């Protein structure tokens, strides 16, 4: 170890799943053959930082020390990923080489990728990094101009925007940061580019399905849309996001953090709920996460929003099986050889499927499938997932009315009803720590979904008639509670339960025709 002035230390963050983990960046410069070594489980992007930093330092008018340079990223056992560490390494290196005063360096966090010309580029996960910086008690976060909007979402944190490595050095020596770019141009652009919101008023006919979707949205219930091709399953599903209430502030921050970590570019806090519709070729790791360290799955990206699985029967069975924990627990625990993570997954599940392989079951002669083919098709769905569908809605080709038929409702009207119902739920469930009926556990169902006398008698008969399993009963009661909430009724009436039962999956869907 040489004299103190050849060692410099600063802070950066690496993304580990949904968390930003603090990394101390230490740089030691000592006499010896010129070398540049990075230690501390760095991934390829970090190792390649050497070349970028080398060029950036030269091109910013500084001198790269022609000595032996060692960069240590601590803690040593935490794998570091991404190019967001470039700026921190470069500044610490300049500090160790005596080209930058080191007093401030130790109390700030730096985030950004370097270009060869010394420009600072954005890095993903800014929001999480900003939150972590404040938690770590560091005085300032130095970051790229393009990341500033995201970091601004965190209150009480001093931000320094830098466009080039040279500006970063100036800031660290007490100078002024660069001017922030105006937010307006891009957000104006984003507003223009946003597609016209999808509206339920576009849906002609299919009144039954629309009513069912309003129920699903009001209580956050999972819903399967089943019907022949061309009946509007996908069209309806895409419009569910339009009747969900906007994200609350806390939810929005959570969603923003997740999406920023996944690399999305945020312009202010999101208001609309996420709508994720992965293709059916997705793998279990793609859906759940954990394919590689820090990569979150679609279920996590759908947190507080909607996960839509179109052509449910085409998904690999293992993929659908993997949905069980996220659906039941509202979180997913991923354990891999070198890491483990817990991710929140509170989403509303929507799925669509054909009723048989050819799609035309129930359309008379048009369906060419044999009974055994239909049974096999239904078996693919049954079991794990169908058992967790709160609502099953069958869509039929609308006859007569066709496209001239009237729309059931507009998204605005439906959302107003959903909002009112959700307010009732939130008030009732506040002391349970949940906000919607779909999240009620057995005890909460018992307490909040009390049936009137006729309802209790109906439930009793449904149970005796073999229409309901124990789990099915819980689901039916939750849905009945939501229907009552939509009707602004504190008590769950027999009619509410009756409607909920009519919307359940028919008993033993998988084997009803194979008998």
Partner 1 sequence: MTSAPREPYRAHARTAHGACRECLRRSWLLSELSPVLDSLAPRRERLNASLALPDEALIAALGGRRRESLRARHAAFAPEPSEPGRGVEAICRHDPGYPRALRGDAAPWMLNIAGGAGARLTRLTAGPLVALLGSRRASDYGREMARTLARDLTASGVTVASTLTDGVGGAAQTGVQDAGGGGIAMLGGGLGVCPTRWRTLYGSLTARGCALSELPHACPGRRWGLPAGERIAVGLAGLAVVVEARETPHELGAAHTARALGRPLAVVPGRVTSPLSTGPHALLREGASPIRDAEDILELLYREPRPPIRAGGRVAERSLALEPDLRTIIDLVGSGADTPDRLVAAGAEPSELLHALTELELRGLLARGENGRYLPRHAF
Contact positions vs partner 1 (CB under 8 A): 205-208, 211, 226-228, 355-356, 361-365, 367, 370-372, 374-375, 392, 394, 396, 398-401, 458, 461-462, 465, 467, 494-495, 497-499, 501-503, 506, 512-515
CA angle 388, 393, 399 (to 5 degrees): 165
Show the tokens assigned to 197.
């919101």
For residue 317, the minimal CB distance to partner 1 (Å) is 18
Q: Spell out the residues 6+ positions from residue 365 whose beta carbon is closer than 8 angstroms to its own.
A: none
**Helix or strand or coil: residue 134?**
helix
CA gap 11, 1 in Å, rounded: 21
Q: 25 or 458: whose CB is closer to partner 1? A: 458
The residue among 363 and 432 lying less far from partner 1, judged by its C-beta, is 363
The nearer residue to partner 1, 152 or 363, going by C-beta atoms, is: 363
Residue 117 or 506 with smaller CB distance to partner 1: 506
CB 352 within 8 Å of CB 310: yes
Smallest distance from partner 1 to CB 475, Å: 14
Shortest distance (Å) from residue 394 CB to partner 1 = 3
Q: How far is the CB of 231 from partner 1 (least distance, A)?
A: 10
Residues 6+ apart with CB under 8 A from 283: 291, 316, 319
Four-point Cα dihedral 136, 142, 248, 252, nearest 10:
-100
User: Residue 164 is encoded by which pair of tokens?
Assistant: 């080039």
Q: How far is the CB of 359 from partner 1 (least distance, A)?
A: 10
CB of 456 to partner 1, least distance (A): 14
| Residue placing its CB nearer to partner 1 in the complex, 59 or 394 | 394
Let me know: does 267 contact 190? Beta carbons within 8 Å.
Answer: yes
Q: Shortest Cβ distance from residue 315 to partner 1 (Å)?
A: 20
Residue 195 or residue 400: which is nearer to partner 1 going by CB? 400
Q: How far apart are CA 256 and CA 158, in angstroms?
A: 20
Where b means 16+ CB within 10 Å and e means fewer, 235-259 reads bbbbbbbbbbbebeeebbbbbbbbb
| Residue placing its CB nearer to partner 1 in the complex, 340 or 460 | 460
């Amino acid at each position: 170890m040489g004299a103190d002035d050849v060692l410099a230390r600063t802070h950066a963050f690496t993304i580990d799943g949904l968390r930003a983990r603090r990394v101390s960046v230490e740089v030691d410069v000592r006499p010896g053959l010129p070398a540049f070594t990075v230690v501390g489980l760095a991934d390829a992007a970090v190792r390649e930082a050497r070349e970028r930093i080398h060029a950036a330092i030269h091109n910013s008018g500084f001198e790269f020390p022609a000595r032996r340079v060692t960069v240590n990223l601590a803690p040593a056992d935490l794998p570091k990923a991404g190019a967001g560490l470039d700026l921190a390494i470069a500044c610490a290196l300049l500090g160790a080489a005596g080209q930058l005063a080191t007093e401030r360096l130790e109390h700030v966090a730096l985030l950004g990728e370097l270009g060869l010309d010394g420009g600072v580029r954005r890095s993903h996960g800014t929001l999480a990094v900003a939150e972590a910086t404040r938690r770590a008690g560091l005085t300032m976060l130095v970051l790229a101009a393009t990341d500033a909007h995201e970091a601004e979402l965190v209150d009480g944190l001093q931000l320094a925007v830098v466009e080039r490595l040279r500006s970063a050095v100036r800031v660290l020596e007490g100078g002024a940061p660069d001017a922030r770019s105006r937010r307006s141009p891009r957000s104006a652009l984003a507003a223009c580019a946003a597609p016209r919101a999808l509206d339920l008023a576009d849906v002609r006919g299919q009144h039954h399905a629309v009513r069912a979707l309003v129920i699903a949205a009001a209580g956050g219930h999972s819903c399967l849309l089943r019907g022949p091709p061309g009946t509007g399953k996908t069209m309806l599903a895409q419009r569910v996001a339009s009747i969900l209430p906007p994200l609350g502030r806390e939810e929005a921050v959570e969603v923003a953090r997740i999406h920023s970590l996944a690399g999305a570019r945020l312009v202010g806090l999101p208001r609309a709920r996420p709508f994720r519709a992965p293709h059916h070729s997705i793998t279990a790791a793609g859906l759940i996460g954990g394919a590689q360290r820090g990569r979150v799955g679609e279920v996590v990206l759908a947190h507080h929003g909607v996960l839509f699985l179109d052509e449910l029967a085409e998904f690999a069975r293992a993929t659908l099986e993997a949905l069980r924990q996220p659906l039941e627990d509202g979180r997913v625990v991923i354990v891999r050889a070198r890491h483990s993570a817990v991710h929140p997954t509170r989403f509303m599940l929507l799925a669509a499927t054909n009723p048989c392989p050819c799609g035309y079951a129930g359309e008379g002669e048009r369906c060419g499938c044999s009974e055994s083919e239909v049974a096999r098709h239904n078996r693919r769905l049954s079991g794990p997932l169908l058992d967790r569908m709160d609502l099953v809605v069958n869509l039929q080709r609308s006859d007569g009315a066709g496209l001239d038929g009237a729309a059931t409702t507009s998204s605005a009207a439906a959302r107003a009803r959903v909002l009112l119902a959700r307010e009732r739920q939130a008030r009732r469930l506040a002391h349970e720590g949940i906000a919607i009926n779909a999240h009620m556990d057995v005890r909460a169902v018992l307490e909040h979904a009390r049936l009137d006398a006729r309802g209790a008698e109906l439930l009793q008969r449904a149970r005796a008639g073999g229409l309901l399993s124990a789990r099915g009963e819980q689901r039916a009661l939750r849905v009945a509670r939501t229907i009552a909430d939509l009707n602004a009724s504190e008590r769950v009436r027999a009619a509410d339960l009756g409607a909920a039962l009519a919307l359940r999956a028919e008993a033993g869907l998988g084997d009803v025709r194979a008998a």
